[in-house]
Chains A and B, each alone.
Chain A
């Protein structure tokens, strides 16, 4: 399963600059508290973990609960230390896994 992902990372940054990162992923985030058309509870299906690694080093991690809105949007900051790649990973119920990368050039 490949989920649609949108990532906003500046292409270039000065060394030591604090950059803002925005991520969005298509996912229903079904809470497990709603009833379906036949009256049964819809099973929970959420993203539980989001991580961001900068050249292999984890710089941000978030544990999500059903209270995060559908199509989770997460924005955070990091320091541009060196040129390389940022790797984003999402894990969730029913074996959901998605990842995306973004390159950054640091002057």
Chain B
């Protein structure tokens, strides 16, 4: 038998407990985590993603960074983050002078129309970024699983 007080406590706990889908940090917060508080400057990064996609399950994305990719001056990492998926991170790539050209291409999932950002971490410790708005007509993660 469930006593009234136990039930009340249980209900209170359910209300106070965080939702099953834990809160995700905002895009700005995620950018701060990557840069560690360093300034993120616009430019040098080209983020190529279609402005309108029909299917959010596979959105082509390409990032290119303007860099000589020499021992002294190269791109250390490329991070891609999003605004509204359940998790902010998409992909983080580590590269170096042996890459020759700082570029990365992949296909991503987008749960909603949102902003996508690419951040390049340079060997001198500076961060450069670019953002793009993507409109998604059929979102990822909502389709029925058969």
A residues at B contact (CB < 8 Å): 18-19, 22, 29, 31, 33-37, 42, 54, 57, 59-70, 72-79, 81
List residues of B whose CB falls within 8 A of some A CB: 21, 57-59, 62, 82, 85-87, 89-96, 98-110, 141, 145-146
Q: Given the complex, which residues of A lie within 8 Å of B82, measured CB to CB?
A: 67
5 contacts between A and B (CB under 8 A): A31-B141, A62-B94, A67-B82, A67-B108, A79-B98
Q: Which residue of B lies closest to A59 (CB)?
A: B98
Contact of A67 among B85, B96, B103 (CB under 8 A): B85
Give the shortest distance, in Å, between A86 (CB) and chain B (any CB).
Answer: 12
| Contact with B99, one of A29, A57, A59, A73 (Cβ below 8 angstroms) | A59
Establish whether residues A69 and B105, one from each chain, have CB atoms under 8 Å apart when the complex forms.
no
Is the beta-carbon distance between A76 and B91 smaller than 8 angstroms? no
In the bound complex, what is the Cα–Cα distance between A31 and B98 (angstroms)?
32
Q: Tell me if A's interface is mostly helix, strand, loop or mixed.
A: strand
Of B59, B85, B91, B110, which is within 8 A of A62 by CB?
A: B91
Report whether A79 and B109 are in contact in the complex, using a CB–CB cutoff of 8 Å: no
CB pair A33 B86 closer than 8 Å: yes
Chain B residues with CB below 8 A from A77, complex form? 99-103
A75 to B106, CA, bound (A): 6
Find chain A residues with CB under 8 A from B100 CB.
18-19, 77-79
Contact among B58, B86, B92, B104 with A76 in the assembled complex (CB-CB below 8 Å) = B104
A76 with B103: CB separation less than 8 A:
yes
> Contacts A31-B141, A76-B93 hold; do A69 and B98 have CB atoms under 8 A apart?
no
Q: Are A60 and B94 in contact (CB under 8 A)?
A: yes
Bound complex: CA A36 to CA B146 (Å): 8
Chain A residues contacting B106 (CB-CB under 8 Å) are 68-69, 72-75
> Who on chain B is nearest to A75 by CB?
B105
A67-B109 in contact given A61-B93, A62-B93, A62-B94 (Cβ < 8 Å): yes
Contact between chains at A33 and B57 (CB < 8 Å): no
Q: What A residues does B94 contact at CB under 8 A?
A: 60-62
Tell me which residues across on chain B come within 8 A of A34, comparing CB atoms.
Answer: 141, 145
Minimum Cβ distance to chain B for residue A96 (Å): 17
List the B side residues contacting A68 at CB < 8 Å: 90-91, 106-109
A18 to B89, CA, bound (A): 28
Q: State the CA gap A33–B143 with chains docked (Å).
A: 11
